[in-house]
Every structure is written in C-alpha cells, then in structure tokens.
Structure 1
Amino acid sequence: MLSFSNLHVTHGSRNLFRNLNLGLQIGELTCLTGPNGSGKTALLSCLVAACERRGLDYYLVRQHETDELLSGSPGQERADRIFRAIRELPHRSLLLLDEPSNHLDRRAFDRMCSLVLAQNQYLLIVTHDRRLLRLADRILHLEAGRLDEYGGNLHVYLEQRQREGEARNREWKGMQRQVRATERQLQIGRERQKKRRQKAEAGNRTQKNPAALVNFQRNRADRTDARLENAYNRQIAGLQRDRAVLQNRRIANGVKFRLPSIVSSRLPAQILSLASVNVHYAGVPLWPKAISVGVYSHQRWALMGANGSGKTTLLQLMAGLREPDCGTTWSALRKPVLVSQTRLNDLDDLSIRDYILNRAGHLDHRALGKIMHDAGLIAVSAQTGLNKCSGGERIRLDLMLAMQTSADMLLLDEPTNDM
C-alpha cells in the first residue's frame, strides 16, 4: 500500500484542505471526484511533491497540458500523452490522471480504459465522468476540505451519498430548531424582565420608596438582565458553532449555475454559409471532401466526430477566426462568440476581476458580483488569480461572460469538459 499523510494546500487565506490522509492499493482503480474548485488538482500536485521527496516513480497527466502538434486536435494530443504514459511507466509506479476523458472520442476512451484496467500500478484518476466512475474499485470525494471514501463503483457511491445527505439534513434541521427555540427563550426572558422592571418602577412611584432602595432594585435588575443575556448568548453561540460545523459536513448538491436568457437580435433566415471549404495542414487537406453547410437562425446544432476530424477547425471557420484555404464563407453575423475548449491563454495572470472587465468592459461592483455569483464563484474572491481557478470554475465563468454579450451566435467547443 502506498500511503500519504498530512497533505495540505492553501491558496492565499483560503485553506483548500489540511491534514488529509490517502492510501492507494496497487492494481486498484481509485477515482477522485468532487465539486469544481474543491482542490482535486491541487491534491494531485501535493502527491507529486510527496513522490519527489520520497524518490518514488510517478507520472502525472495534467488537465490542460498541450503539445504543438500539426493536427491541432486536443483529443489526439491527450490520447497520445495518456497512452505513452501508460506504456512507459515503470512497474509499481504511481499514475495520476487529471480528467483523462476530456476531449477523447469513444474509440480513444475505450482504448484508454482497457489500458488502465490492465495496469499493475498505483492509479488515481480525477474525474467527473460517470463512465469512469462506474469502473472504479473505490471513489474518493473531496469537498470543503474533507476527503470521504466510498468503497465501490458509481452505484455504491451515489447510494451512500444519498443516505448520508438525508441523515445530515435531518441533523441540520434539528439544529436549526434548537437555535430558534433558544432565541425564543431569550426573547421571552427579555420580555419577562421588562415587565418586572416596569412593575417595580410603578410600585416605587406609588409607595414613594427612598432613592437608595430604588437604585438598589434597578442595579439588581440590570445584573439579572445581563446574566440572563450572557447565558442565552453563550448557548446560542455554541449552537451556531455546532451549526457551522454541521453545515460544513452537509452533503452538497453542487454549485448553482445561472445562465441569463439571451435576447435574440433581428437576423435573416440564413445567417451563415460555408461553400466547398477546406483547410490544409502541411499541404494536405483536412477533409477528404470539401464541406458545404448552411446555418439558419434559431437552430441548435450538435457537432460530433472522431478526434482529429476537424470539429474545432470548423467552428473557427464559422466564427470567422480562420480563413479557409479553399472555398468561400458568407456570414450575416455581427458578433459570433466561440467558447474554446482550450482554457489556458495569455490572460491567465489576470485576477478574476480584471479578466471579467477585460471581457465585458466597464462594470460596477454590483454587476461584477452578480456575474461571479451566477457563475457559481460564490466562495472565491474577485482578486483571486485566474490561474488559481479550477477548470470547471473557468468554463462556467467563460460561459457566463459569453452569455452576457450581445452575441448573434454561440459556438461552444466541448463546454462540459471539467464540469
């Protein structure tokens, strides 16, 4: 068994996790899942650092590594990298794969699974892909700094998560009731003390008691009020601490992601036309036969094909980001927006705030906060660097910004990767 202990990662003032312990069995397929931004990729980096300190053999296929291949296909790049890693890794080494099924077509995915399942290595895969989770021997769930273990595949994982969620929700509701009951008792105590004080003051006025006695009664009432207030406040504070701990242990249902509705502009019936287009790589045409296609307003298209078949290139032609080497294009679009499957770019050194302003123009503080909230970046500071965001957080932000524009057409290249 390969064991790692006391793993911790901090981003600024935010603790992603601390004092995590992890053990891996050789030949066992362990999958790591959890919400976007919970620290799964950071945990892999922690394991890499631990392996280097201990002199262990390992190989990490990162989430967004790319090579400069002539094909320009992220799917082909990723498949080649994974297959090379699996073939060349020494015996009893640690293989770490971060979202390996991203970009892969069905054929490459099936081949990857066959190779992975045949390995006698320590294996940890970060994934949201249910196809991989169904093959897992063990599933680890990382969320809110906790690493929960579920022995079994996707069915066992979902069943246990549901049971835990129901139990913790019942416990949460019971804690909420205790807090409300204690707050009611505090309010009742305040009202009772107020009535006693009023009755005593009325009696003093009627009986014309001396000032010394009146002051003594008033001071005693003040001390009683303070003692009751402090007792109830301590009780409420304790319950709130327990509630905060329980809130951290509750089973989450994921981050809510709110896309705004788009107001369509007035467009002609046909908005885009490609006539006998083709693109050449090293003098060789990408498609054996030139492509002709017409796109009409209010249509929804799904573009499918094998890795390297030219799907991304076709989207670039439609967006006007690339000219065909032969054929003609015609477009009535004023502002098409392409959300690329390549997340990394020259803007990664910017903060989230500066990235949003760079994409959306001038925004006040409230509008900026709404974009981050709707993108599900609730617990993330606007000053956080874009390169500190997870792949899922990044694509949610890119989708939100694309929907904020007055786009005539949205072109989404593998939008569900990393989510």
Structure 2
Amino acid sequence: MSASIVCSALGFRWPDGDSVFTDLNLLIGEGRTGLIGVNGSGKSTLLRLLAGELTPASGSISITGELGYLPQTITLDATRRIDDVLGITAQRQALAAIESGRGTEADFGVVGEDWDVEERTRATLDRLGLGHLDLDRTVGAVSGGESVLLALAALLVRRPPVLLLDEPTNNLDLRARRLVHRAVADWPGVLVVVSHDRELLDLVDRIADLREGEVRYYGGNFSDYEAAVAAEQETAHRLVRAAEQDLRRQQREMIEARTKLDRRQRYGQKMSEQKREPKIVMGNRKRAAEVSAGKHRNMHLEKLAEAKDRVKEAEEAVRVDEEIRIRLPHTEVPPGREVLRLSTVELRNGPVLDLDLRGPERIALVGANGSGKTTLLRTIAGTLAPVSGEVALKVPMRWLPQRLDVLDDRLSTIDNVAAAAPDASAQSIRAQLAKFLLRGRKAEQQAGTLSGGERFRASLATLLLAEPAPQLFLLDEPTNNLDLASVAQLTQALTAYAGALVVSSHDIPFLRCLGITRWLHLDTDLTEVDPM
C-alpha cells in the first residue's frame, strides 16, 4: 500500500482555549508537498499533530507507513555518540560481533537485511557534508547547522516512507541549505515540508496552502503556485467588478421602478380628488396599484439582495494580503557620498577587514555560519568594539538584529516610534504606521503582545521612521522565521528605502529582489563575488 497522510474533520485547541483547527481535512500522497501559510495559521502545529507530539481534540489522523519528523528546533545531547543520534548503534555492535565470530542469533536479527548500514550511513553523511564526523565520537562540538544536518541524516538513514520537515533550512548557511535542497529533491517517498525558503519550495511537486483553517492544493512548485494564485486573483477581481456593476444596475432599476410607482400613485390621487371616476372603481384601482407596487418592491428587493450576495461571494475569493507602501525620501544618500569606512578593522573572531561604502549602495553579506557576519554588523553598529582599527560612520545608522530586540515591550508601537522620532506628531506617526499595516488599536497595543509578523513590522517602522532618518541600514538574517507574506512586505519596505543597505542573509531569492549592487563574501577577509 502506498504511503499517505489523511486527516478527517481534525480539531485542535490549546489549553487556554485558543482554537487552531475546527474541521480540517487533509490528504497527502506520494511526492513532495510544500505546506505554506502565514505565521499563526497552524503549519507547525499540524506537523506536531501528524508526528504524534500533540493530541487532536476531535477528528482522526491516519498515516500509512513509518513516519520521520524533523522539528524546527533541534537540541542534541552533547554526550550522545554520533552513531546513537543516527540510530545505528545496535546494528554496528551486532555487525562487529558477527565479524569477530561471536555473533548470536539475536545479532543476526538486529542486522536483518541491512548488512551495509555503516557504508550507507557514511554515504549519507558525505552527501550532507558531514563526512568528517567520526561515528564513535560524541556530538560534542557539532555546530547548530551541523545538528540540523545530523538529525536529517538520521532520518535519511532510517528511510521512513513518510517524512515531515519543519523549516529545515532555517539558520543554515548557503552551503548547508544547498545540501538540504539536494536531499529533498532526491527523497523518494511522501515528504511534507514547512518552509519560507523559496528555493526549497521550488523543488516540491505540489503546494498545500493552509489558510483560515482550510487547505487548498496547487500542482507544481512554488513558482507555479504564485502564477496560479495571480491568475485566480485576476479572475476574482474581475468577478468583483462585474458583481458590483450588477449591484449598481439593480439599484438604478429599483430607483426607476419606485419613481414610476410614485408617479402612478400621484396620478391616481389626482383622479380621486377630481372625482372623474366612480368611487368603487377608484378604490379597486388603488388597491390593485398597492398590490402591484408591493410585488414590484419585493421583486426589486430580492434582486438587490441577490446582487449584494454575489458581491460578497466574489469579494470572499479575493485575498487580503496587504502590502507595505511607504515613501522614505529623507533616507536618500547622494551618489558618491561616503557612508562607511572600515580601516584595518580586526574583528573579535579574527578577520581583518577594509571596506569603503559610498552612496546608496546595497551590499549582500554572505558567508558560512561562524564566519563573523553578525560580529561585523555589531562592530559597525557600535555594540561590539573591534580589537583594532577604525570604524568611521559618516551618516545616521540603524540596524535590525536577528533577535528583533529593538522595541520596548511595555510601550505601544506609537510610543516606540515616538521615542525614536521625538519631533514627529502623533497624527503623522499614526499615518505612517498605517502604511506599515499597523492601524487603530494595533498601533496602540503594547509591543510585547503583538504577533510575530506585527512585531516585525513595528520594529521595521521604529527603525525606518527614526530621527534623524537612517541613511545606512543594517539587517542581520531578517527573513529568518518570517512567513512568505512577511518576507514580501519586508521587500516592499526595503524597496522604498533610499539609503545604503548592508544585509546579511542566506536567503538568495530575497537578496535578488533588493537590487543588490555588491555581493561580499566574508571568510578571512571580505571578497567581492559574482551575483548569486
């Protein structure tokens, strides 16, 4: 029987009563499926339900075949051996006993048909760039990125028919991302991956879009999905326009009908006053007119109600993925103006760097995890002193760290922006925050109570609306943990930004959208590389 995942009328709520799903149906068969949706839509919760980490409140989950699950956060015990993490300790011990002539029937049972398990495991490690790991050593100094790859290797060695991956490329450098991409592309069974990595999502066979508690399926990869949604939305907008046009026509016809009926009533009243016809005839005519008027009124009211329903139905098919549309003229930097100069700056982690940044340049800072990209940004921002050398900032600067800790959680978003821009009026701050999709009560809400996407936009607004206007903006892995809609909104905001930009990121599709003018690779020094 082919492997598959089936959920029927699935319901789940958190202990505080917050409902995630009420009647979710899901059907996933062979092939690679990209599960997407905005932050908070329940993607990770759904994977945890499928993996058995959470128990549904109602409905059923049926999974045909053994299941493997890679959670978003990987924590490995540093004292565990590598072969134990990979799940092959018992097989290795049994093989060693058999090869030494001490093998028992139980040892042969442990090995089964998997006589090449160690060779297969080493091949898997090589494919994931972990060939240097010794199976007999402990996890010890394995880096965070290697922990993710090692956990993925354990799943690939097991070869479960069903594999669930939750943001597998998050926080991985470009090389590690490419390795995960290759593993996903080669996966032969059922695979469900939650990710905002566009390159990874372009390797899947179908997209499952989780929106408002329902899943819609689209054949093809993420690029195909975007094209399909664009076509759907074009049709949806056209249907809205047609429905609105029909509604206006029904309203005109109703007004015209009422005008005609009013004219007839005035004529009948005039005839009655002039007594040109017998009283009984005029009474019958009046009653007939009232019945006719009532029928016409009801008919037009029904048509009007139907037209309104058609407008509502058409509008429901239109997505409300709002866009950030701002203007930031005060951030503009004249071409050629010196913005930043690093003169023989030695970073805390070793590299000695020189850099000259002029005008509205846009620099993509790339390199392996641990190469010092965050250290460099913190050194430029002044939160970390260099070992030696000079950092010369020539323009106002702001930076967005990975932790998004730029807000005072006790203050509202309005008050956070006001603290950064004390000369701005409350009215102008409200108007600008609305363009960052933070309107009304959301702008007045304490920053600590905002959702992930709202908090990100509030942080972005606080930095970009600051006084003096930042003419150099530093961003450290800004798309980590952002859903695809938030990544699009960040791209829109940075497109409007007119100053110099330095962005550290492994998200190549995101960087390509920013109009990068220089790609710098950080290793022992800064090297300009070809556009990626």
Whether the TM-score (by the shorter chain) exceeds 0.5 is yes
Partner in structure 2 of residue 358 of structure 1: 416
- Compared with structure 1, are the counterparts of its residues 169 and 266 closer, same or farther at alpha carbon in structure 2 (3 Å cutoff)? closer
**Runs (5+) with no aligned partner, structure 2:** 56-60, 77-141, 488-532
AA partner of residue 354 (structure 1)? S
In 2, the alpha carbon distance for the partners of 1:118 and 1:300 equals 35
Q: Contact (CA 8 Å) 2:413, 2:458: kept in 1 or not?
A: no
Q: CA RMSD in A?
A: 4.5
In 2, the alpha carbon distance for the partners of 1:400 and 1:66 equals 34
1:115 matched to 2:119: no
- Compared with structure 1, are the counterparts of its residues 196 and 348 closer, same or farther at alpha carbon in structure 2 (3 Å cutoff)? farther
Helix, strand or coil for the counterpart of 1:141? strand
- Compared with structure 1, are the counterparts of its residues 102 and 374 closer, same or farther at alpha carbon in structure 2 (3 Å cutoff)? farther
1:277 matched to 2:335: no
Partner in structure 2 of residue 2 of structure 1: 5
Deviation per residue, 1:85-116 (Å, 9 max, x gap): 31234653642323x44444431211111233
- Compared with structure 1, are the counterparts of its residues 106 and 271 closer, same or farther at alpha carbon in structure 2 (3 Å cutoff)? closer
The structural deviation recorded for 1:136 is 0.4
In 1, the alpha carbon distance for the partners of 2:71 and 2:254 equals 57
Q: Contact (CA 8 Å) 2:333, 2:359: kept in 1 or not?
A: no
In 1, the alpha carbon distance for the partners of 2:294 and 2:20 equals 40
Partner in structure 2 of residue 337 of structure 1: 398
Partner in structure 1 of residue 47 of structure 2: 47
In 1, the alpha carbon distance for the partners of 2:242 and 2:436 equals 32
- Compared with structure 1, are the counterparts of its residues 211 and 172 closer, same or farther at alpha carbon in structure 2 (3 Å cutoff)? same
The structural deviation recorded for 1:330 is 3.0
Partner in structure 2 of residue 261 of structure 1: 328
TM-score relative to the length of structure 2? 0.60
1:328 matched to 2:332: no
Partner in structure 2 of residue 22 of structure 1: 26
Partner in structure 2 of residue 79 of structure 1: 145
Question: Map of 1:312-327 to 2, 5 A cutoff?
Answer: 312-327=374-389
Partner in structure 1 of residue 511 of structure 2: none
In 1, the alpha carbon distance for the partners of 2:154 and 2:393 equals 48
In 1, the alpha carbon distance for the partners of 2:298 and 2:235 equals 32
AA partner of residue 256 (structure 1)? E
In 1, the alpha carbon distance for the partners of 2:283 and 2:430 equals 53
Deviation per residue, 1:59-88 (Å, 9 max, x gap): 3215xx899xxxxxxxx9763343133123
Partner in structure 2 of residue 59 of structure 1: 70
In 2, the alpha carbon distance for the partners of 1:304 and 1:177 equals 52
Bigger Rg, structure 1 or 2:
2
Helix, strand or coil for the counterpart of 1:140? strand
**Runs (5+) with no aligned partner, structure 1:** 68-75
- Which residue of 405, 415, 418 maps to 2:466? 405
- Compared with structure 1, are the counterparts of its residues 257 and 265 closer, same or farther at alpha carbon in structure 2 (3 Å cutoff)? closer
In 2, the alpha carbon distance for the partners of 1:19 and 1:387 equals 28
In 2, the alpha carbon distance for the partners of 1:366 and 1:126 equals 40
Q: Contact (CA 8 Å) 2:447, 2:455: kept in 1 or not?
A: no
TM-score relative to the length of structure 1? 0.74
- Which residue of 317, 333, 342 maps to 1:249? 317
In 1, the alpha carbon distance for the partners of 2:441 and 2:466 equals 23
Q: Percent identity?
A: 26
* Residues matched between the structures, number: 392
